[in-house]
Structure 1
Amino acid sequence: MKSLSLLALAATALLPATSLAQSFEGPYAGVQIGWNNDRAPLPDGAATSTQERDSFVGGIYAGYDHAVADNVVLGVEGGFQIGVDDRISGANNLVAVDQRYAFDISTRAGYVVGDSTLAYVRGGYSNSRVRLSDVSATGYETENLDGWFVGGGVEHKLINNVSARLEYRYHQYDFDEDDLERHQVLAGVSYRF
């Protein structure tokens, strides 16, 4: 009888911890808005200099999380983003880079803190559709730039199936012999199905 009581007590103690991670389990979708800081190496006469621009970004995302331990969550996520007014021009506006849109796929690992907050890190693949303009040539050309990104954030449950998150990301894309960099701060709202 005493061993049954101890077993019941142990099971009761484990249930809340398990349900914490499970509150972030399953499929979800959301919308996000935020800030970009893009940096691109562009020709500046005979040399190259890094030009940068701040802009607004918006997008959508969807993913799936799975609770692998009491407070540990692993997941995958895909997203699509469009920047607004993010064209970067070189000296004298001779050359410009305009990121039209980007998509990404990533994995994330998180730890549930408190009753309803998930702190996580993220990393994955990113692809940006870029329009390159050169006034010395006619028109423009469009390229897809492959890259990678890392980041981290916090997601907090607001009500049963709705959560809000704040996240930082660093992207790096292959761009000619140099790299195009993007820093982002994103705020999102998710619905978990």
Structure 2
Amino acid sequence: MLPPMATAADMNGAGQAPTRDWSGFYLSAGGGFGWWSADQYTDFGGFPAPGPSERTTGSGGFGTVGGGYDWQFTPNWVAGAFADVQFGDIRGSIRAPFEQYSGTTNDRLNLAAGFRLGVLAAPDVLIYANGGYSHAEFTGSGLDPTPLVPLSVAGQHYDGWFVGGGVENTLDFTGISSPGWFMKTEYRFADYGRKSAGMYVTATGAPDSAIAFRPTVQTLSFSLVYRFNEAGSTRF
């Protein structure tokens, strides 16, 4: 028979390994690499042709900052809401279908807001999926080789959706003792639908014609995360 004091300690949870509490607010910052591809369509007065006539791609690096809130609603499951921004130089080509003119466009900004749901593979390791709303900004460009009347393509703003997933873990998991600090690796795919990117006369701004541009963007990011609840982040 166990001594009375040992029994009481056991009833209070003594001897059990503490588990991490993932609930709370956090901020994140990091960077990564992105790539996009875009189908382009001939645009007849706002009515794009049914099939794509060109396909172009782009790639480049970006930085990212964000924040959110997580709720550990069972011992093994975590749900959360977040928002972040990616800013950088994911650069590629845009082309006037059925013509020889092309230019350079840059996916310079991606905003996202959404939700994530994850499972704890270990007390310090969260594997999650996420999704939600996304907004992208592509820059305008002049067209080369220069037409008889120089033409440019207008910059465009796109609204769409994203899905993705990743892994987040404490730096303690890597052997670095840093209370409050985590690291996160995440992949995303975003679709922005089809929208007309108007062409105009460079010198006067007069409208000329249009290209229907449908981009999808993929990103792989690596971020440091700071959780503000870390002072009380363990429980029994």
TM over 0.5: yes
Question: What secondary structure does 1:168 align onto?
Answer: strand
Aligned residues: 187
Which residue is equivalent to 1:64?
69
Instruction: Point out the structure with the larger helix share.
Output: 1
Matched, 1:49 2:57: no
Question: What secondary structure does 2:74 align onto?
Answer: coil
Matches within 5 A, 1:56-135: 56-90=61-95, 92-133=100-141, 135=143
CA displacement 1:34-89 (0-9 Å, x = unmatched) = 11111012369x96221112211111011111111112111011011112251323
Would the aligned equivalents of 2:142 and 2:153 in 1 still touch at CA under 8 Å? yes
Structure of greater Rg: 2
Matches within 5 A, 1:1-193: 9=10, 12=13, 16=17, 19-20=19-20, 22=21, 24-42=22-40, 48-90=53-95, 92-133=100-141, 135=143, 138-158=151-171, 159-176=178-195, 179-193=214-228
CA distance in 2, matches of 1:146, 1:16: 46
Q: 1:85 to 1:146 in 2, by over 3 A?
A: closer
Which ranges in structure 1 are unaligned for 5 or more consecutive residues?
none
TM-score w.r.t. length of structure 1: 0.82
CA RMSD in angstroms comes to 3.0
Q: CA deviation at 1:128?
A: 0.6
TM-score w.r.t. length of structure 2: 0.68
CA distance in 2, matches of 1:29, 1:187: 13
Q: CA deviation at 1:132?
A: 3.6
Instruction: Point out the structure with the larger strand share.
Output: 1
